[in-house]
Amino acid sequence: MLMDPALGRVIERCRDGDRDAFEEVVDRYGLQLLRTARLILRDQALAEDAIQETFVKAWQRIGSLREEDPGPWLTRIAMNESISSYRRRHRFQALTERFGRLGGGKHEVSSEARLDLAHALDQLHPDQRAAVALHYYQDLSVEETARALKVPVDTMKSRLKTALRRLRQLTGSEEITP
Amino acid sequence: MSDKFEKNLRDHLHHEAEEIREFPRQLRGRIREGITPRARPRMAPQLALAGALVLVAFAVLVARNPQVIIKDVPSAIKQILQPSPTPTPQPFTCADRSGGTSGLAAQLTAIRTAHHAETPGFDRIVFDFSDGIPSYDLTRQVTSAFVKDASGQPVTLDGSAGIKLVFRNASVQGVADDQKPRLTAVREIAQLGNFEGVLSYGVGLSSSQCVRVLELTGPSRLVVDVTTSASASTSPAPTPLPTTPSATDLTPFACQDLAGGSSNGPAMRLTQVRVAHQAAGYDRIVFEFAAPAGVTPYLPTYTVSRQASAKFVKDPSGQDVTLRGSSGLRIALHGASGADSYTGSRDITPGLPVLQELEQLGDFEAVLSWGAGLGRPSCIRTLELSNPTRLVVDIQTP
């Protein structure tokens, strides 16, 4: 996607080291990126840290942004930061989850333990939540979501399908059979 | 495949996301800090060494020639402490200005005003700072109406035009929130905000005038001179104040239905639909088209109709559809289709300041229509762009 001319001028000023121009970029994309990061990380403070890191990295790499819309570029950085942040801070939790799976096999969700969507989203793997957030919140196509998360399109299709199945299972929603 | 569960999921995600109503100011400050270069601590030992060498050299000099203390040092000190002379007057310009030192934290200690009668006549506002001049933006505006930071409350100052000054990393002490010097040009100066290190002031002017800005040291002060006569502002030739929110040559917003484009030719192929908020004060929708092979590109005839609800009728099914928001726009293009060319989402919920949802209403017999759900009734403008062919619909935001 090409940049619109006004935005192109702002990016040019950023490349020249104009920090005020970069604040225009923050104003334009910051809120949606923060909301998306919050959906993935499930924590406001972590999301803010991830977005701060996103924009600082974007500033450092602004020279690498060519004649493309900065939106997808910033989204890629933000997704990377969000998922990395989650992994860094939840290593221990991830380990316990892995041992839990090895010992107990796949969890079955009883009808009494059905969760609402917010809690069900908490249970997803961050990669799945990122896919769900981009596809269903940012309304990116499957192809765009795959690009943002740097995975093949088929992998993304499968990831979305798995995430959706898991959410249905956790919330007790009936799955539509094709 | 889209079913009720997916719709619920989408709604839930939007609801959850919109719990964050605005981008936190303190996060903006953290980002600003993160991109501002810092002084290297490694320099400290080097500076100490340099200082020590200077002291040794000075001691040697004094031991050899004590007269230097009596004669030269007082004059040197006087020279250092003397306020910097006012530089050669610069011309007045009719443009916004930015300056100061990024990342520098400073305290505003006084705001002084005075009228200078010499030719060209001008009113001077002096902002005194304790530790250098922080990063600032000066923006001229055609009214004396401002919006207070944080509260969002409107405030109208004395006069018919204005200047807004925003200082970053700045605090204030002992300065009145509202001054009414009632000079020829400068009528009132009021604090608009002081929050999270962003300090802003509005200046009410008797009429739209050009300005010059001087950054002076010893003590640190930012001087804003406002011309009091039209003749004073002719060097260089004044440029008119912007009447539209963007720096580009844009048509003004209109609170009415709009139409344009040109008829004739095979249907143009919709390839992309983009939405974004522009900091200049509008949400933008872009419909991008490609011409079929062998056809000269053209923008199809279009109408943009405003309506008082976000309820639309789908074409050709006749089904009702209610989008997010309380009012709407119906954008209809005659001689366009996206059936074989558009692969993006046909129901976009960007959650922009005004544009809440954009959904395709119909694509039938080369009539392509989209509905936009708006959070409030808004004025609009359209732009017709080429290479590639685009219809741009801008929706004014508060």
Answer yes or no: do B13 and A44 touch at CB < 8 A.
Answer: no
pLDDT digits (tens, 9 = 90+) for B340-352: 899 888 999 888 8
Where is A7: in which H helix or E strand?
A: helix A5-15
What structural domains and CATH numbers belong to chain B?
A: 97-233 (2.60.40.3500), 258-396 (2.60.40.3500)
What residues contact residue B261 under an 8 Å CB cut-off, 6+ apart?
B298, B299, B300, B301, B302, B333, B334, B335, B384, B391
Mutate to test the interface with A, among B6, B16, B287, B355 (most CBs of A within 10 A): B16
pLDDT digits (tens, 9 = 90+) for B295-307: 888 899 999 998 8
Q: How is residue B210 written in tokens?
A: 């050009």
Answer yes or no: do B248 and A5 touch at CB < 8 A.
Answer: yes
pLDDT digits (tens, 9 = 90+) for B373-392: 999 999 999 988 877 889 98
Residues of chain B with pLDDT > 90: what percent?
Answer: 21
Answer yes or no: do B279 and A38 touch at CB < 8 A.
Answer: no
Query: In the sheet where B268-278 sits, what is the strand order?
Result: B336-337, B268-278, B282-290, B389-396, B380-385
Residues of chain B with pLDDT > 70: what percent?
Answer: 78
pLDDT digits (tens, 9 = 90+) for B271-285: 999 888 877 788 999
- B273 in contact with A, Cβ within 8 Å: no
Q: What is the pLDDT of residue B229?
A: 65
B10 and B2 in contact (C-beta within 8 Å)?
A: no
Separation of alpha carbons A87 and A84, rounded Å: 5
Q: Which residue of A has its CA nearest to B245?
A: A6
- pLDDT higher than 80, residue B245: no
Average pLDDT over residues B146-175: 82
Q: What is the pLDDT of residue A2?
A: 52
Q: How is residue B158 written in tokens?
A: 């004395």
- B35 in contact with A, Cβ within 8 Å: yes
Radius of gyration of chain A measured on its C-alpha atoms: 18
Q: Smallest Cβ distance to B13: which of A1, A52, A133?
A: A133
Separation of alpha carbons B202 and B155, rounded Å: 9
Q: Smallest Cβ distance to A24: which of B20, B274, B279?
A: B279
Answer yes or no: do A173 and B5 touch at CB < 8 A.
Answer: yes
Q: Which residue of B has its CA nearest to A48?
A: B27
Separation of alpha carbons A1 and B121, rounded Å: 51
Separation of alpha carbons B361 and B313, rounded Å: 7
Beta strands in B3-93 (DSSP E): none
pLDDT digits (tens, 9 = 90+) for B122-148: 889 999 998 889 988 888 887 888 877
- Report the gap between the CA of A89 and the closest CA in chain B (Å): 20
Neighbours of B281 (CB within 10 A): 15
Q: Which residues of A touch B32 (CB under 8 A)?
A: 19, 23
- Report the gap between the CA of A103 and the closest CA in chain B (Å): 31
Is this complex's ipTM strictly greater than 0.95?
A: no
Tens-digit pLDDT profile for chain A (178 aa)?
Answer: 556 677 888 888 888 888 888 998 999 899 999 999 999 998 888 899 999 999 999 998 888 877 677 888 999 999 998 988 887 766 545 444 444 443 333 344 444 344 688 888 988 888 999 999 999 888 888 898 998 898 999 999 999 999 999 999 888 875 544 3
Q: Give per-residue burial for B289-318: e unless 16+ CB within 10 Å, then b.
A: bebeeeeeebbbbbbbebbeebebebbeee
Q: Smallest Cβ distance to B246: which of A6, A55, A141?
A: A6
Q: What is the pLDDT of residue B61?
A: 58
pLDDT digits (tens, 9 = 90+) for B195-217: 767 888 999 998 888 888 888 87
Answer yes or no: do A71 and B16 touch at CB < 8 A.
Answer: no
What structural domains and CATH numbers belong to chain A?
A: 1-104 (1.10.1740.10), 106-178 (1.10.10.10)
pLDDT digits (tens, 9 = 90+) for A97-115: 444 443 333 344 444 344 6
Q: Beta B268-278 vs B336-337: how paired, if at all?
A: parallel
Q: What is the pLDDT of residue A99?
A: 44
- Report the gap between the CA of A139 and the closest CA in chain B (Å): 6
Answer yes or no: do A22 and B35 touch at CB < 8 A.
Answer: yes
Q: What is the pLDDT of residue A9?
A: 85
Q: What is the pLDDT of residue B308?
A: 87
Q: Which residues of B touch A52 (CB under 8 A)?
A: 27, 30-31, 34
Torsion angle defined by CA atoms of residues B35, B36, B41 and B43, in that order, rounded to the nearest 10 degrees: 120
Whole-Å CA distances, B283 to A111, B24, B172, B230, B380 = 44, 20, 35, 36, 10
- B7 in contact with A, Cβ within 8 Å: no
Q: What angle in degrees, to the nearest 10, is found between the helix axes of B25-35 and A19-41?
A: 120
Number of CB pairs < 8 Å for A and B? 113
Bridge partners (DSSP) listed for residue B141: B162
pLDDT band at B82 (very low <50, low <70, confident <90, very high): very low
Q: How is residue B44 written in tokens?
A: 């400290």
Q: What is the pLDDT of residue B189?
A: 94
Answer yes or no: do B277 and A59 touch at CB < 8 A.
Answer: no
**DSSP string of B155-211, one letter each residue:** EE-SSSEEEEEEEESEEE-S--SEE----SSEEEEEEEEEETTEEEEEEEESS---E
Q: Smallest Cβ distance to A20: which of B24, B31, B137?
A: B137
pLDDT digits (tens, 9 = 90+) for B219-229: 788 999 998 86
Give the closest residue to A121 by CA, choosing from B4, B16, B64, B244.
B16
pLDDT digits (tens, 9 = 90+) for B7-61: 889 888 988 888 888 899 889 888 988 887 754 445 455 555 666 666 666 566 5
Under DSSP, the state recorded for B2 is -
Q: Which residues of A touch B23 (CB under 8 A)?
A: 26-27, 30-31, 34
What is the SS3 assignment for B362?
A: strand
Average pLDDT, chain B: 79
